[in-house]
Amino acid sequence: MLKFLIIVAIVCSSAATASPYPHWEKLIKEYKFDSSAQSFCLTDENTVGQNQAKKIRPASVTKLYVTYWALKKLGPNFRFKTKLTLSKNRLHIEGSGDTFFTTESIFYLISKINQIGINSLEKITLSKQLFFNWKQDRTKVSASLTKYLDTKNWSQTIKTDFENVRTQLEELQLPQTIPSTLELAFSELSWDETPIANPIWHGSFESSPLKNHLKQMNIYSNNFMAQKLFDYLGGEEEFAYFMEEEFGTDQRIIHFYTGSGLGENYTTCNLTLGLLKALDQLIFQDGLNLEDIISVPGTDLGTLRNRFKGPPYNKALVAKTGTLRHTSALAGYLFTPIGATPFGIFNHSYNTTGARELQNKFVPTLFKKIGSPEPFNYERQTYIPLVDTLFNWIK
């Protein structure tokens, strides 16, 4: 049924090219944009807008599609599992594609290694899919990890990082704790896919739930995480298959080359509305709220921190931005007494600053169409990657 409704919406709206909003036309003229290259859409009783069936570049609104794909395929509580095996003189770390394996994770892992009485090793080996501090290049990852794992030679910067992490853990009152002193020395660090044959210890470091990662990805528009998650899920071909299965689409309507939104991805405003409707339903089924996954403008930090800050719009919408050199986009949900209404605004112009101004001026007009803004209860939460992580040693 969902496929049918979305296909009908795409087909039926293709004839509706005239905007029902004079304010939209006024803004297009004010900013001297080519009206044929601009698109917006809104779900009212019917889908309304301008050029809503026209191909558009979603830029980082792509990440909302990746969010839906990841929640659908993996679930909100999925965790990436970085495996550790330990012999008498070697530690092997097997990556899992965890893009939030960061400074805090390493400090925590060293503490767990010290906890079982190990503070000196001959060799540390790393395997594929191990990322660190949003880096994937093996040379950069190994160089950076060498500095963080060699506790006796920590730079002042790393020492400051360490104290900051400990302070954050105390302030957040997390169950994960790190002692005031860590000790680890080793002779060699290298990449090696050969596992340890007879390890003394097995360890499993499980990331915080996927829902937490998705929220951070969407707040900060983290390209690295979005792309690696897109690849983890199967990449370009698998995404095309997924969209066909879920929404009955093909390459005439949508094709994503990247999960970050960089490049020449294309979709339509209408399909974005269909995606947003499906995402809303999925998030609700998972027992979550939209604001648990998507940025709250004017409250969360990140790309929307300075937009829609004051009443009546603050905490009355959640949205994702998208910016390329020739594109500015804004898509998400408007909250009124009738609930959350999906919307999308896609501007194609090199004047991206002007496009953002246009979007800020036009969102109030969309609210007027569907109802008065109704703010929801929400407080920004401090997040570090160790939140809700799990770790176990098995001897």
Closest to 107 in 3D by CA, of 80, 133, 125: 133
> 132: which 2 tokens?
């660190």
* pLDDT score at 382: 86
Looking at this protein, which amino acid is placed at residue 94?
E
Question: How far apart, in Å, are the Cα atoms of 366 and each of 50, 146, 204?
Answer: 13, 53, 48
> 359: which 2 tokens?
């979007």
pTM given for the model? 0.93
Question: How far apart, in Å, are the Cα atoms of 5 and each of 125, 226, 277, 342?
Answer: 52, 28, 11, 15
> Three-state secondary structure along the chain?
CHHHHHHHHHHHHCCCCCCCCHHHHHHHHHCCCCHHHEEEEEECCCEEEECCCCEECCHHHHHHHHHHHHHHHHCCCCCCEEEEEECCCEEEEECCCCCCCCHHHHHHHHHHHHHCCCCEEEEEEECCCCCECCECCHHHHHHHHHHHHCHHHCCHHHHHHHHHHHHHHHHHCCCCCCCCCCCCEEEEEEECCCCCCCCCEEEEEECCCHHHHHHHHHHHCCHHHHHHHHHHHCHHHHHHHHHHHHHCCCCCCCECCCCCCCCCCEEEHHHHHHHHHHHHHHHHHCCCCHHHCCECCCCCCCCCCCCCCCCCCCCCEEEEEEEECCEEEEEEEEEECCEEEEEEEEEECCCHHHHHHHHHHHHHHHHHHHCCCCCCCCCCCCCCCCCCCEEEEEC
> 318: which 2 tokens?
């959640």
The answer to whether the CB of 80 falls within 8 A of the CB of 98 is yes
- List the beta bridge partners of residue 120: 185
Cα 108 from Cα 259, distance rounded (Å): 30
Q: Residue 350: CA atoms inside 13 Å, Cβ hemisphere, count?
A: 0
> 246: which 2 tokens?
């879920």
Which residue matches tokens 């007027």?
368
Q: Which residues contact 277 (CB under 8 A, 6 or more apart)?
A: 6, 43, 342
pLDDT tens series, the chain, 395 aa: 344 344 434 434 443 334 457 999 999 999 999 999 999 999 877 788 999 999 999 999 999 999 999 999 999 999 999 999 999 899 999 999 999 999 999 999 999 999 999 999 999 999 989 999 999 999 999 999 999 999 999 999 999 999 999 999 999 888 899 999 999 999 999 999 998 999 999 999 999 999 999 999 999 999 999 999 999 999 999 999 999 999 999 999 999 999 999 999 999 999 999 999 999 999 999 999 999 999 999 999 999 999 999 999 999 999 999 999 999 999 999 999 999 999 999 999 999 999 999 999 999 999 999 999 999 999 998 899 999 999 999 98
Cα 139 from Cα 189, distance rounded (Å): 11
C-beta atoms surrounding 272 within 10 Å: 26
Instruction: Give the domains, in start order, of the chain with CATH numbers.
Output: 2-76+222-370 (3.40.710.10), 81-207 (3.50.80.20)
User: 221, exposed or middle or buried, with CB in 10 Å at 0-12, 13-18, 19+?
Assistant: buried
- List the beta bridge partners of residue 393: 203
The answer to whether the CB of 64 falls within 8 A of the CB of 276 is yes
Radius of gyration of the CA atoms of the chain, in A: 23
* pLDDT score at 276: 98
